[in-house]
Amino acid sequence: MAVFVSFVLFVSCSKSGEGDKPVETSVAITAVSPASGLPNTVVTITGSNFNTVTANNIVKFNGVTALVNSVSATELVVTVPESATTGKITLSSNGKDATSAADFKVTTATISDYVSLGAVGIDQIAFDYSGQLYGEDGNNIYTIGTAGVSLRLHVPSNQFRGIAADRAGNLYVAPGSNVTKIAPDNTVSLLAGQSISPGGLANGTGAEARFSGNSYGIAADADGNIYYADASSMRKITPLGVVTTLAGNLTFDRGYVDGTGGAAKFGVMTRYTVDQPTGDIYVVDSDHYCIRKITKDGVVTSVIGSTINGLTDGESTNARIFGPQSLATDGKGNVFFSDADFIAPLYKIRMINKLGRVSTLITGTSATTAVNGPLGTGTTSRPLGIAFDASGNLFIVNSGAHKISKVAFN
């Protein structure tokens, strides 16, 4: 009898309880990061009750459908459409709709003259941490401002390529078989290597280290470490002059192999830059027409491109690069680079987003003229060095027009 009563009570509770009623769920957008960006910027939308099947989520930026890259119940990773304009983000998921509280601002930009270069043949440029812009022509370092270009220092040694700066105000170049440090008072010293090449490749501290002298650039991270693409390796030099091999090898054993440290192989490495927030290095492997990433732990992966050259935009290995002249990062995970087919001629300023999609911001076909104006109207001419200032403005050495242009993002 006791068992029968318990059974009746159980059935009664289950019929009268609320547990069998379907739970009403609504889709909500609670945050969007970043809140602004250029077309092709990768954006993370945070919220609740998103459908976990990618195809079941439709995201629009002010009415323009976006590419949904990945999903979870609380997060969508999407790409800002090429033709998007500023406005609300809308989401259709699980048959329900949600709208962002604030507008997503689609960034635009205006290109204008920053300074005329006159007869000075600036190649690469870099900002120091005080906001001063410097440039180099292979033998000299110049101070650059809106008032003009002035010689700061002649470097009395072999020709160098590239220039870097640390937080203490020191500049660095890599002429021949050493890395040279230039103090704020223009005192010149060797950070690593020797003024006259003794030959060979070796790690070590200061003068113990050996470099091949075949580097196409130099870069610095936020901690003052210097990076030098030498022979078939990326080498790291600490502020105390300790030289190690971050990735690749010191045997000139070239190839195209992703991996960690010595397991990775490179072709000829030309231009490169450091993403300051992460410490990742992005380097052009010109032999294989690709851009590769080296983490601060020496892990090497291929970001874009393949063994075929070209100037085609697209996703990762479907994109093509031709001859990148300089790279710079915007601090938001995007990599910008100047690219050119000088024979065609066809010039481009291009962007790689966080997921490896390549898009073109600025183009040009004139070997002598760079036109000012908004994106889509302004042009570039034989672009070489590029650099971002602390405010996020992009500066371009338009060597064909003998000027540095400023791209102010709005």
For domain 109-409, give its CATH number from 2.60.120.200, 3.40.630.30, 3.30.390.10, 2.120.10.30.
2.120.10.30
Q: Which residue type occupies 139? A: N
116: Cβ contacts below 8 Å, ≥ 6 apart: 148, 402, 403
In contact, 262 and 248? CB cutoff 8 Å: yes
Which 3 state secondary structure label does DSSP give 166? coil
Please report, in tens digits, the pLDDT of each residue of the chain (410 residues total). Answer: 444 434 333 334 444 445 555 555 799 999 999 999 999 999 999 999 999 999 999 999 999 999 999 999 999 999 999 999 999 999 999 889 999 999 999 999 999 999 999 999 999 999 999 999 999 999 999 999 999 999 999 998 778 999 999 999 999 999 888 999 999 999 999 999 998 877 789 999 999 999 987 788 999 999 999 999 988 899 999 999 999 999 999 998 999 999 999 999 999 999 999 999 999 999 999 999 999 999 999 999 999 998 899 999 999 989 999 999 999 999 889 999 999 999 999 999 999 999 999 999 999 999 999 999 999 999 999 999 999 999 999 999 999 999 999 999 99
pLDDT value of position 108? 96
DSSP readout, 81-107? -TT--SB-EEEEETTEEEE-SS-BEE-
Distance, CA of 34 to CA of 46 (rounded, Å) = 11
User: For residue 288, what are the CA distances in angstroms to 40, 48, 235, 248?
Assistant: 25, 43, 20, 15
C-alpha dihedral, 375 to 388 to 158 to 185, nearest 10°: 140
pLDDT number for residue 19: 52
pLDDT, residue 39, reads 96
Domain with CATH 2.60.40.10 in the chain: 28-106
Residues of the chain with CATH 2.120.10.30: 109-409
28-106: CATH, from 4.10.220.20, 3.30.1490.20, 2.60.40.10, 1.10.8.420: 2.60.40.10
Task: Put the strands of the sheet holding 28-33 in their side by side order.
Answer: 28-33, 42-48, 75-79, 67-71
pLDDT of residue 24: 54
27, 194, 208, 213, 348 from 159: Cα distances, Å: 61, 15, 22, 10, 27
CA triplet 384, 175, 321: central angle to 5 degrees? 30
Token pair in block for residue 271: 């231009």
> Is 119:389 a contact under the CB 8 Å cutoff?
no
pLDDT of residue 22: 52
At residue 13, the pLDDT reads: 43
| Type and span of the H or E element at 226 | strand 226-230
